[in-house]
Amino acid sequence: MRNLNELNGQVSVAILEAEQAQRKVSYLEEEISKLTPPFSAEGRIARRGAVRAAMAGRDEERAKELVSRFLAEEGRDEKLSEELVVLIR
């Protein structure tokens, strides 16, 4: 039987691994966003996903940089812009 300290340690490791996985998702979604226009459904999903995953991975600076870049893209709609800004609040 594991003791409380071992379990707490395993929880901490699992949290760090989950955050790392979210950062990886953010980079993958960013790559998809580079291949899709911001006005397409897949493009909107990728952009929101990249920002959301960066925030879940505790990389707020990256999330803000992504939002700045995505807001500068031509062809984005106002709804997407609003959604991206809300994600980093």
Measured distance between the N- and C-terminal CA atoms of the chain, rounded to whole angstroms: 43
Supply the range of the domain harboring residue 24.
4-87
Digit-by-digit pLDDT tens for the chain (89 residues) are 889 999 999 999 999 999 999 999 999 999 999 999 999 999 999 999 999 999 999 999 999 999 999 999 999 999 999 999 999 99
Q: How far apart are CA 34 and CA 38, in angstroms?
A: 9
Give the pLDDT confidence of 27-37 residue by residue, as tens digits.
Answer: 999 999 999 99
Q: How far apart are CA 73 and CA 83, in angstroms?
A: 15
Sequence-distant (6+) residues with CB within 8 A of 60 are 54, 88
Domain count, the chain: 1
pTM of the model: 0.91
